[in-house]
Structure 1
Amino acid sequence: MQQTNVAIIGSGNIGTDLMFKIMRYGKALRMAAMVGVDPGSEGLSRASRLGLFATASGLDGLRGWEGYRDIGVVFDATSARAHEHHAAVLKADGKLTIDLTPAAIGPYVIPPVNLDNVILEENVNMVTCGGQATIPMVAAVRRIARVPYAEIVASIASLSAGPGTRANIDEFTETTARAIEKVGGADRGKAIIILNPAEPPLIMRDTVYCLVESNDFEAIRASVHEMAARVQSYVPGYRLKQDIQFEPVANFPGSRAHNLTKVTILLEVEGAGHYLPAYAGNLDIMTSAALATAERLVSKKTLEQVA
């Protein structure tokens, strides 16, 4: 299979884990360059030892490298503010960009929900770790019935939240809430993130609440389990923590129904341990989703070129 050279901007935990995933599982992708701004970065050091191009001069350093012209895909694992600059430059250079920050310049992508709808985009946004874990569940419920309101709570180990995550807390909640509506299909969405300081660190836990205009519990349950299996195909550590809960509730403003049901879905995400510890499922699901997205987009473009 013809492979496309890729570069990662951001040599922190997410970028380094993604590098190992691409090198281990990449089919249409070939890892070529790692970009950072800290010369002492462990991610850059590892990339260099693996024989990849590594630069601590940021995007300018990547663009000055002779191999840049052969880069087809760039993953941005920096910050929302940095991506605003990167996106404009990469677009001008004609690079397909996979955005792992909450900048949301390109359309949101949740692989099992809407990946086929963004095949022709030049910049796609992976939402957030909480979004990747929970929006598939909102979408699964929405396939069965209208969802006037959906709320998600993502609890992650404090040790798995690096400087980028902490700097993007506001963007996390805003971007996830919007994606719950635009991709998940809820009329209104809300997102909450909790940094859990427990020792030893706990793996990622997510709670999804949906108010639905339906009492077809079996159809909802089947839809949720089918969607969970689709996520597990690229994130093996993704699982339902316990049985789905159904509870009758009073009317909700804006709902046409007189009787609503609150659907509660409890999830956990265990990391694969490629580079990050198993408790860092929040980072693992982001890198896994980004890899699955890039593989699909590159494969589709390759087929179109051949045709």
Structure 2
Amino acid sequence: MADWTADELPDCTGRTVVVTGANSGIGLEATRELAGAGAHVVMACRSLDDAERAREGIRDDYPGASLTVRELDLADLSSVRAFAAWTDEELARLDVLCNNAGVMAIPRSETADGFETQFGVNHLGHFALTGLLFEQLREAPDPRVVTQSSGMHARGEMDFEDLHGVEDYDKWDAYARSKLANLLFAYELDRRYGDELTSVGCHPGYAATNLQYRGPEAEGSRVRKLAMKAANALLAQSAEAGAWPLLYAATADDVEGGDYVGPGGLLNMRGAPEKQHSASQSYDEATAERLWRVSEDATGVEFP
């Protein structure tokens, strides 16, 4: 794995992959490589216009790319349910679900369902999506669910008394909590259903994407946005390289349920993907079970 890149992707012909947030950043690069390897990729995106432009850009590189654009707003459970209903009706099979989309370090706001936005989009939206697609996934020969986390999960704490930051909100603490929730979910999914699908966590390291700019833009801070651009230019790896852990987790033969894949280079921020250990709190089974129950209650989505 020391020198693994997207050039090592296996042939994905005949496989169908759903990628959330496929119109930009890591999701776009992962979609480009999966389509180039022969997969049919469903680009599940909030903005259809952005997704259509992204699709045309991919087809400039791979004219025969098999791509479908569908609307998915993870901040609205009615949109999640509509997307899942479409997949059940229109997709003959579903092999891989890449829970990739996310928001980072934004001022406090709420989703259509009243959830704090970072927790609602990054965790609850993907929890509901996975549950609603579960029956279709389990019918595939070798189904996988890959959930994108972040090294920031190590800062996270699950405050079940104030999950949505009503009493106390810090944008970075809220982001870290949502990314910890991603791993608690990924590992609990493996514990519960590991005999039916492979559930894996991953993180991109420090990759230059538009994600870093959304917080400063929401705050109207030009100075912070410029600082983020400077940091990206000096320290970050490309979005293409940032997609490698996701691609490895989604396709590599040696991936097992409960794995955590991230860059193996400097401070785990860049480089080729490798299997790693996440922070100790991400393996807490009691916390994971409680989060699962809370997530089912919040979303109204129950797994079989």
Q: When you count helix as a share of all residues, which structure comes out higher?
A: 2
Q: TM-score, normalised by structure 1?
A: 0.41
Q: When you count strand as a share of all residues, which structure comes out higher?
A: 1
